[in-house]
Amino acid sequence: MTKSSLWKAINKYKWGYLFISPWILLFGAFGLYPLLLSFYLTFFTYNFIEPQAQRFVGLGNWIHGFLDPLFWRSVFNICYNQAIFIGLTFCISLGVALLLKQVGAGGRLYRTVYFVPTVCSVVVVMTVGGYLSSPEGPIQAYLLNLGLLKEPIHWKFDKWLSMPVLAVINSWKWFGIQTVIFLAGLISIDPTLYEAAAIDGANAWDKFWHITIPQLNPQIVFILVMNGIYGLQMFTEVYMNFDLYGGIYHQALTPVLYLYAVAFDQSNMGYASTLGLMLAGLIFILTMLQFRFIQREID
């Protein structure tokens, strides 16, 4: 290529490259570079107070991570929480979406109201939800009055109840958005499918299992993948309600909370970086498994 034709090519394409360049620059500085740095940091102990004390530890952080009971405890906790959250939110939002479809245009006001918690911040929701569900709050008072509860439950200090209660509060926050997603899916299902099934003598239950659920596949996939990626990185919810190690039994320790504690309480950036990579790896594997599973379902 001669010099002038190279110049011509650059001139021809310059706008494309120019318009895309902010992303390239920012991705280099705050995407690629941190990614490489995070691998680099895993081989050292490093803290801000004495950066000169940086020490090479080889695979030490990785071995520590794979053998760290607290890390695996945090992985168990978040899976426990997400299993309840995903199941509960799925049932509620699909049920509400079916009801909204039935009432048609009259459901607009309900849809608007159900969406309000979604636009509120996690900090607000956790403050309000935490107070309402506390032993001093109204929910437990009602249940005590009705005799459904014998004594107040201090769920923030309970080994097994902390995560389920957080899951219920989060369901309250997020079911609105999932309802709207499901409703959009339900409305787009071809009504002739139901009519054909009715002629074949299918009852409501058959229609639900054999038409509604398979037809909602794209929405279900979307919700599962999003929950997998975001839910496993839960932080604010537990940071606000518990200490940095997730309470006396570590019952609410999530991986990101643990990473935060290692980084800013123990100021061990190298190990925190290792934990970040381990969690990212787990999320990646999970997402891949979901896609695999879904692929098989479609085949």
Partner 1 sequence: MVTRSQVYGGRFYRALKIRKNLSRWIAYFILTLGGGVVVYPFFYMVMNSFKPGPEILHAPMKLPSRWVVTGYIAVWRELQVPLLFRNSLILAVSITLLNLFFDSLAAYALSKLRFPGRDTLFNLMLATLMIPGVLFLIPTYVIMYRLGWVGHFRSLIIPASISVYNIFLMKQFMQRIPDELIDAARIDGCGELGVYFRIVLPLSRPVLTTVAILTFMGSWNDFFGPLLYLMEDPSKWTVQLGLQYFNTSIPGENAEQIWAATTAITVPLVLLYFLLQDQFMKAFAGMRLK
- The reply to whether 249 sits near partner 1 by the rule CB under 8 A is no
Choose which of 59, 103, 187, 285 interacts with partner 1 (CB under 8 A): 103
CA separation for the pair 238, 122 (Å, rounded): 11
Check residue 106 for interaction with partner 1 (CB under 8 A).
yes
Tell whether the torsion through CA atoms of 140, 146, 152 and 158 is positive or negative: negative
Task: Supply the minimum distance, in Å, between the C-beta of residue 218 and partner 1.
Answer: 7
Contacts to partner 1 from residues 130-189, by CB under 8 A: 131-132, 134-138, 141, 172, 176-177, 180-181, 184-185
CA atoms of 166 and 129, how far apart (whole Å): 9
In this structure, the dihedral spanned by the alpha carbons of residues 81, 84, 89 and 91, taken in order and rounded to 10 degrees, is 170
- Considering only 76, 160, 284, 293, the residue that binds partner 1 (CB under 8 A) is 284
**Which of 70, 79, 88, 110 lies at the binding interface for partner 1 (CB under 8 A)?**
110
Q: Quick check: 205 binds partner 1 (CB under 8 A)?
A: no
Decide: is 231 part of the binding site for partner 1 (CB under 8 A). Answer: no
* Distance in Å from the first CA to the final CA of the chain: 49
To the nearest whole angstrom, how small is the minimum distance from the Cβ of residue 196 to partner 1? Answer: 17
Residues 51-90 that bind partner 1 (CB under 8 A): none
Contact call for residue 216 and partner 1 (CB under 8 A): no
Token pair for 257 = 């909370």
Cβ pair 89, 168 in contact under 8 A: no
Contact with partner 1 (CB under 8 A): which of 84, 216, 256, 261? Answer: 256
Residue 276 makes contact with partner 1 by CB under 8 A: yes
197 within 8 A of 208, measured Cβ to Cβ: no
How many residues bind partner 1 (CB under 8 A)? The answer is: 85
Distance CA 13, CA 92 (A): 51
Position 240 contacts partner 1 (CB under 8 A): yes
Q: Which run of H or E residues covers position 45?
A: strand 44-45
Shortest Cβ 99–partner 1 spacing (Å): 4
Interacting span for partner 1 (CB under 8 A) from 68-76, 79-87, 195-203, 255-263: 255-263
59, 63, 112, 289: residue in contact with partner 1 (rule CB under 8 A): 112
CB of 58 to partner 1, least distance (A): 19
The three-state secondary structure class of 233 is coil
Instruction: Name the percent of the chain in helix, strand, coil, to the closest 5.
Output: 75, 0, 20
Q: Whose CA is closest to 270, among 44, 34, 37?
A: 44
222: left (phi over 0), alpha (psi -120 to 50) or beta: alpha
Radius of gyration for the alpha carbons in the chain, expressed in angstroms and rounded: 25
Shortest distance (Å) from residue 63 CB to partner 1: 19
Sign of the Cα pseudo-torsion (184, 190, 195, 198, in order): negative
Q: Does residue 273 touch partner 1 according to CB under 8 A?
A: yes
Considering only 49, 119, 146, 298, the residue that binds partner 1 (CB under 8 A) is: 119
Stretch that binds partner 1, among 20-28, 59-67, 69-77, 206-214 (CB under 8 A): 20-28
